[in-house]
């Protein structure tokens, strides 16, 4: 623990964040070697320049909870309408690194995504209609997680969370854990925001002006160097058919921008981000410190230029930074996320069984990839079928073996670096899904040889193909005897 704390201290102190004014997160110098090259192209994805990014005014507005109308504090709405715009993060008030981390924790919870904002009275009325809260998770204080009011110079707007829409783990007792892995909602919970107020039509209009819903989604996923007829058919499908591709019923995974509905990605546990050298399941970007976390947040929120070598996926009139979250907000979030550790299992197995499992973990060679103390080497492992060139810029961080898992995301999408990031096993005990695509639902399924069969019923994400499909790869531990397997699982659940 002391070693890990020391590493974190060095990371934070050397991060380049001043206490009152963070350095620019979007600099040409930092961006030039940040992204991992696309395997099929041998080039790094492009990006907006520093000049283009900072030509856009900074967005930094305090947000306020959206309460169930029957739980709203007396006088709240009248009070809210009298508020003036205030900053979500005020850098001048932050005197120490702990101050920045606390500000980041709050910003992670309260930052909205401006692409979803609306001042339309109809949308505001929907967020105040009790009928739209049926089956919606409420906190103990009576507000929802994924909608918020924003007071801008133009007045009150309804918006959606920039972070909690994915990175909020809703528990059966009604509590929630921010930055945890995505999870299935408890029985009776269907959503984390009022019905009809996730304004996706505004998102598409702002990201892809002039496109139909189908063309916008095709533009999001098409990969000319690895053409997939299923993706190309999106332009000809009905809106309902396209929506069906995303509505798998599994809230632990989703089709990432630049990914594919057929190669979806599980929502990661951000509590173990600090143990990584890379961001994203396919290691799309280096993680050199909190600045890179802030930089990645900027990228996914509003600054992806969708450029891959000679391939440009945005029309000329669409290529722009739509909005820019203030550096102090994203810097605080980066520091906060890099300060986290996964929660400890409140019900670990017996010490004797855990010790026996640790010996098996060592004996089976698990440490080759999942080395202590963080139970990851932090390296990249080549996807099945990919041999990285000897002069690959990340060659010092490439493991010499492949796990053999489904290579689709790593080779057939615009996230196709040719690699998967070796995950940390810390906190694996509370993750509802395993592997990069969330196809495995438990440690028991992970170590059961039946998952390799074509008639296996997947416990996790099943994909558009249905339930009967093998979960290939990671054969390690499949031949263990029952007692050994039980001990190994007890050890893993203690991490």
Ranking 17-26, 98-107, 157-166 by mean pLDDT, the lowest is 17-26
> What confidence score (pLDDT) does residue 218 get?
97
pLDDT band at 20 (very low <50, low <70, confident <90, very high): low
**pLDDT tens string 400-456:** 999 999 999 999 999 999 999 999 999 999 999 999 999 999 999 999 999 999 999
What's the confidence (pLDDT) of residue 21? 60
Rounded to 10 deg, the angle between the 482-492 and 351-363 helix axes is 100
What are the CB-based long-range contacts (under 8 Å, 24+) for 474-482?
Answer: 474/403, 474/404, 474/405, 474/435, 474/446, 475/404, 476/364, 476/365, 476/366, 477/364, 477/366, 477/447, 478/447, 478/448, 478/449, 478/452, 479/449, 480/360, 480/364, 480/447
> In sequence order, what are the residues at sequence separation of 6 or more whose Cβ sits closer than 8 angstroms to the Cβ of residue 111?
63, 88, 161, 162, 163, 325, 329, 333
The Cα–Cα gap between 299 and 305 comes to 9
Residue 3 has pLDDT above 70, yes or no: no
- How many helices (H) and strands (E) are present in the chain, helices listed first? 16, 16
Quick check: helix, strand or coil at residue 95? coil
Q: What is the pLDDT of residue 1?
A: 36
**Token pair for 131:** 């009928």
Q: What is the pLDDT of residues 62-99, one digit of tens each?
A: 999 999 999 999 999 999 999 999 999 999 999 999 99
Report the pLDDT averaged over residues 292-304.
97
Q: CA of 269: how far to CAs of 181, 256, 321, 389, 434, in Å?
A: 4, 16, 28, 31, 11
Q: pLDDT tens digits for 170-212?
A: 877 778 889 988 777 777 777 888 988 888 889 999 999 999 9
What's the pLDDT tens digit per position in 366-385? 999 999 999 999 999 999 99
Provide DSSP, 408-475.
Answer: HHHHSSTT--SEEEPPP-TTGGG-S-BSTT--B-SHHHHT-GGGGSTT-B-SS---TT-SB-------
Q: What is the pLDDT of residues 456-471, one digit of tens each?
A: 999 999 887 777 789 9
pLDDT in tens, 228-265: 999 999 999 999 999 888 876 688 898 999 999 999 99
Question: What is the spatial distance between Cα 297 and Cα 338, in angstroms, rounded to a whole number?
Answer: 13
Overall CATH class of domain 351-378+422-492: mainly alpha
Q: Which residue has the higher pLDDT, 22 or 2?
A: 22
> Residue 364: which pLDDT band, with cuts at 50, 70 and 90?
very high
pLDDT given at position 392? 96
C-alpha 458/C-alpha 462 separation (Å) is 6
What confidence tens digit (pLDDT) does each residue in 320-359 have? 999 999 999 999 999 999 999 999 999 888 999 999 999 9
pLDDT at 116: 96
Q: What is the mean pLDDT of the chain?
A: 92
Integer Cα distance of 412 and 416 in angstroms: 6
Q: How far apart are CA 341 and CA 1, in angstroms?
A: 11
- Residue 200 has a pLDDT of 86
DSSP 21-40: SPPPSS-HHHHTTTBPPBTT
Q: What pLDDT is recorded for position 318?
A: 96
Q: Once rounded to an integer, what is the mean pLDDT over residues 112-119? A: 96
Domain ranges of the chain: 2-337, 351-378+422-492
This prediction's pTM: 0.93
Report d(CA 148, CA 159) in Å as an integer: 5
């Amino acid at each position: 623990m002391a070693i890990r704390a020391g590493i974190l201290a060095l990371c934070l102190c050397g991060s380049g964040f001043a206490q009152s004014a963070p350095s620019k997160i979007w600099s040409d110098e930092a961006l030039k070697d940040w992204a991992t090259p696309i395997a099929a192209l041998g080039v790094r994805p492009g990006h907006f320049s520093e000049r283009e990014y900072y030509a856009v005014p900074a967005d930094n507005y305090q947000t306020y909870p959206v309460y169930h109308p029957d739980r709203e504090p007396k006088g709240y709405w009248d009070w809210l309408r009298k508020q003036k715009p205030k900053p979500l993060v005020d850098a001048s008030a932050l005197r120490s690194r702990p101050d920045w981390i606390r500000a980041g924790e709050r910003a992670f919870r309260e930052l909205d995504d401006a692409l979803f904002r609306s001042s339309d009275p109809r949308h505001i009325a929907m967020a105040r209609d009790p009928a739209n809260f049926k089956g919606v998770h409420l906190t103990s204080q009576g507000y929802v997680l994924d909608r918020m009011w924003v007071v801008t110079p133009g007045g009150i707007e309804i918006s959606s969370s920039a972070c909690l829409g994915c990175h909020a783990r809703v528990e059966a007792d009604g509590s929630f854990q921010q930055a945890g892995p995505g999870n299935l909602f408890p029985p009776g919970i269907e959503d984390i925001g009022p019905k009809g107020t996730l304004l996706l039509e505004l998102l598409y209009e702002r990201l892809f002006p002039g496109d139909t819903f189908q063309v916008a989604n095709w533009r999001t996923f098409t990969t000319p160097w690895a053409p997939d007829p299923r993706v190309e058919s999106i332009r000809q499908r009905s809106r309902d058919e396209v929506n069906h591709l995303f509505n798998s019923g599994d809230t632990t995974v989703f089709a990432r921008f630049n990914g594919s509905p057929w190669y979806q990605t599980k929502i990661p546990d951000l509590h173990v981000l600090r143990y990584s050298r890379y961001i994203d399941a396919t290691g799309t970007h280096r993680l050199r410190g909190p600045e890179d976390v802030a930089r990645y947040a900027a990228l996914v929120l509003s600054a992806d230029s969708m450029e891959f070598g000679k391939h440009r996926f945005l029309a000329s009139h669409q290529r722009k930074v739509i909005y820019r979250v203030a550096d102090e907000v994203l810097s605080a979030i980066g520091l906060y996320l890099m300060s986290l550790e996964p929660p400890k299992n409140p019900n670990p197995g017996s010490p004797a069984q855990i010790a026996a499992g640790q010996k098996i973990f060592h004996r089976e060679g698990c440490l080759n990839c999942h080395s202590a103390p963080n139970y990851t080497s932090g390296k990249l492992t080549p996807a099945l079928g990919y041999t990285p060139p000897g002069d690959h810029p990340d060659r010092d961080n490439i493991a010499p073996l492949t796990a053999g898992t489904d290579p689709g995301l790593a080779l057939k999408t615009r996230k196709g670096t040719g690699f998967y990031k070796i995950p940390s096993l810390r906190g694996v005990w509370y993750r509802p899904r395993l592997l990069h695509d969330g196809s495995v639902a438990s440690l028991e399924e992970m170590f059961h040889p039946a998952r390799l069969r074509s008639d296996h019923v997947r416990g996790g994400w099943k994909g558009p193909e249905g339930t009967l499909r093998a979960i290939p790869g990671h054969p390690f531990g499949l031949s263990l005897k029952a007692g050994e397997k039980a001990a190994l699982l007890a050890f893993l659940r203690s991490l």
